[in-house]
Amino acid sequence: MASNVDRDYLDKTLQQFESYPYPDIPIEDPLNKDVEQLYKSSLVTARYRRDKKIITDLKNRAILDVACGTGATTLRLAWANPGAKIVGVDISPESIKIAEQRLKHHGFDEAEFQVLAIADLDQLNQKFDLINASDVLYLLPDLALTLRQLAQVLQSDGVLRGNLHSYYQRFNYYRAQTLFQRMGLMEDNPEETELGIAREFYAALRDGVNLKATTWSSGRGEIDNDQWILMNHLFQNDKGYTLPDLFEAFEQSDLTLVDMVDWQKWDWRKLFKEPDNLPAYLAMGLENADREEQLCFYELVQPDKRLLDFWCSHPLPSKKDFSEYWLEQSPENIVVHLHPCVKNFAPFRQAILDQGKLMPLNLSHCFPFIGQDSWLDRTLLTAFYAPLLDSSQALESLVCRYLKARPCYPGDLTPVKPKEAQDLIMSMIAEQEEWGLIMIEVQD
Ligand SMILES: C[S@@+](CC[C@H](N)C(=O)[O-])C[C@H]1O[C@@H](n2cnc3c(N)ncnc32)[C@H](O)[C@@H]1O
């Protein structure tokens, strides 16, 4: 049961989203073109990040989109997790109505929706393998309490994806919100009048003035989109967080970080001109720091992401370092899987199967989320990826195939030795497993 303070919060948020349901995207928009969003919405990705479990069948899996809004995130979850049961809840009846229509329009008639607050999730009488809480946690008054409420409906091996507004990245918007609060624009639900006043205010400011330059016209030209202003300058209950705030809330809710959702981009090494040539105190300090400390360092140096987007779960038994573990296993016990979102991404399939093409392919053109360029020559690409498009493969069979495709070195035509081919394939797997394109299974 919500307290009075919570009620006040809920009412303000509810009013805002009842009058302007979010996101304002046409129902017909398929939203499934963005392989990065699908990849991040996939239970397969989340579970593999959590404990290296490879999920191949989603039939008996249940996925909850908490605060689903008008269902854009729910539709992505449905596309990304075919066969799984999809449930969406939100406090805004208007948003739920649109979400339901959206999912039906795209053929997901089975998706279930309910008007429900996070505090009342136990009413669903169900636990979920994946919970998505996107663009909502920063609106609630007590983060640790909200996480506990979500954890109650999370399966023991399930994963919760959440995100928070970054205090450092959005600092200027918080200044704008404070100003508009002082001007009285946020006492009631901000609507057309308040939007008009905000627009007039910015129009009257000189262009170079800091607040205008950082929140209104910086690089985007003049902004004239109601929802954008409401979700930034006039956002009720919006609060900024830092990673230490998040880690403290995890402690209070007995949850643990699985990883950042765009983990490939949270790499402190990429912040330095010469990461292999750092002053000793810095290199040792960062190398030896735990993951949380490295992330906090990154956040302070480069707060470039609007969202602190994370996966978390119930505490895990201590994790072995998988990147070392699998390399120590006998190669005949290793099976290689292609992530289903990668496998089903049509432009990638076409690039692999198009035998006529000889130019190398940059994987990051297909999968920008890997965060760096990776050029692969066609022989390697075809020998390695083409069989994986059909099914998972034993490491040994990938090595055999590569040897057939490239029996000798092009320079002096000396034969490629099986061990050399195996080392090459294994180093490629290691790299692409870290980026998330490939998954490794070690069989007993
Ligand atoms: C910014 S929208 C995000 C919608 C959707 N998750 C997305 O990312 O597109 C926030 C949504 O959270 C809902 N919401 C806010 N507080 C909530 C609560 N306590 N319980 C359930 N829904 C809530 C609002 O009604 C609104 O639809």
User: How far apart are the CA of 316 and the centre of ligand 1, in A?
Assistant: 29
Please report the sign of the dihedral spanned by the C-alpha atoms of residue 84, residue 155, residue 142, residue 264. negative
Q: What is the DSSP letter of 316?
A: P
Calculate the alpha carbon distances from 218 to 117, 212, 222, 224 in Å.
36, 8, 8, 13
Distance CA 55, CA 219 (A): 42
Helices (H) and strands (E) in the chain, counts: 20, 12
Q: Does the Cβ of 72 fall within 6 Å of ligand 1?
A: yes
CA 36 to chain centre: 8
pLDDT for the residue 277? 93
Given the CA of residue 14, which atom of ligand 1 is nearest to it? 25
Distance CA 118, CA 136 (A): 10
Could you give the angle at the alpha carbon of 358 between the alpha carbons of 355 and 362, nearest 5°?
Answer: 105
Q: Give one word for 216, left, alpha or beta, with left for phi > 0 and alpha for psi -120 to 50.
A: alpha
CA dihedral 154, 156, 162, 167 (to 10 degrees): 120
User: How far apart are the CA of 135 and the centre of ligand 1, in A?
Assistant: 7
Edge-first strand order for the sheet with 62-66 is 112-115, 85-90, 62-66, 128-133, 154-165, 307-313, 256-260
Q: Does the Cβ of 98 fall within 6 Å of ligand 1?
A: no
Pair of tokens at residue 281:
């105190």
Domain boundaries, the chain: 4-168+240-313, 171-230, 323-442
Does the pLDDT of residue 5 top 90, yes or no? Answer: no
Could you give the angle at the alpha carbon of 323 between the alpha carbons of 319 and 327, nearest 5°?
Answer: 120
Pair of tokens at residue 30:
């398929």
Q: Does the Cβ of 91 fall within 6 Å of ligand 1?
A: yes
Q: Does the Cβ of 38 fall within 6 Å of ligand 1?
A: no
Q: Does the Cβ of 67 fall within 6 Å of ligand 1?
A: yes
Q: How confident is the model at residue 358 (pLDDT cuts 50, 70, 90)?
A: confident
Distance CA 130, CA 312 (A): 10
Please report the sign of the dihedral spanned by the C-alpha atoms of residue 344, residue 348, residue 349, residue 350. positive
Query: What number is the average pLDDT over the span 275-292?
Result: 92
CATH of segment(s) 4-168+240-313: 3.40.50.150
User: How far apart are the CA of 8 and the centre of ligand 1, in A?
Assistant: 15
User: How far apart are the CA of 73 and the centre of ligand 1, in A?
Assistant: 11
Q: What is the DSSP letter of 139?
A: G
User: How far apart are the CA of 136 and the centre of ligand 1, in A?
Assistant: 5
User: How far apart are the CA of 386 and the centre of ligand 1, in A?
Assistant: 41
Q: Pick the residue with more confidence: 219 or 412?
A: 412
Q: Pick the residue with more confidence: 320 or 427?
A: 427
Distance CA 153, CA 124 (A): 9
Does the pLDDT of residue 50 top 80, yes or no? Answer: yes
Q: Does the Cβ of 132 fall within 6 Å of ligand 1?
A: no
Query: What number is the average pLDDT over the span 210-223?
Result: 74
Q: Does the Cβ of 68 fall within 6 Å of ligand 1?
A: yes
Question: Mean pLDDT in the chain?
Answer: 93
Q: Which of 7, 91, 102 best tests ligand 1's pocket when mutated (most atoms within 8 Å of CB)?
A: 91
Q: How confident is the model at residue 34 (pLDDT cuts 50, 70, 90)?
A: confident
Residue 80: which of 97, 63, 95, 67 has the closest Cα?
A: 63
Does the pLDDT of residue 49 top 90, yes or no? Answer: yes
Residue 93: which of 194, 18, 170 has the closest Cα?
A: 18
In the chain, the amino acid numbered 73 is T
pLDDT in tens, 397-416: 999 999 999 899 988 999 99
Distance CA 160, CA 46 (A): 9
pLDDT for the residue 78? 96
Q: Which residues of 146-167 are buried (b: 16+ CB within 10 A; e: fewer)?
A: bbebbbebbbeebbbbbbbbbb
Q: Which residues of 431-444 are buried (b: 16+ CB within 10 A; e: fewer)?
A: ebbebbbbbbbeee
Q: How confident is the model at residue 371 (pLDDT cuts 50, 70, 90)?
A: confident
Residue 97: which of 74, 70, 67, 64 has the closest Cα?
A: 70
Q: Does the Cβ of 189 fall within 6 Å of ligand 1?
A: no
Distance CA 206, CA 380 (A): 57
pLDDT in tens, 88-122: 999 999 999 999 999 999 999 999 999 999 999 99
Query: What number is the average pLDDT over the span 357-371?
Result: 86
The percent of residues above 90 in pLDDT, for the chain, comes to: 80
User: How far apart are the CA of 353 and the centre of ligand 1, in A?
Assistant: 42
Pair of tokens at residue 242:
């830092």
Distance CA 310, CA 163 (A): 6
pLDDT in tens, 176-200: 999 999 999 999 999 999 999 999 9
Q: Look at residue 195 and give its three-state secondary structure.
A: helix
Please report the sign of the dihedral spanned by the C-alpha atoms of residue 417, residue 420, residue 421, residue 422. positive
Could you give the angle at the alpha carbon of 425 between the alpha carbons of 424 and 430, nearest 5°?
Answer: 100
In the chain, the amino acid numbered 392 is S
In the chain, the amino acid numbered 336 is V
Q: Does the Cβ of 73 fall within 6 Å of ligand 1?
A: yes
Q: How confident is the model at residue 355 (pLDDT cuts 50, 70, 90)?
A: low
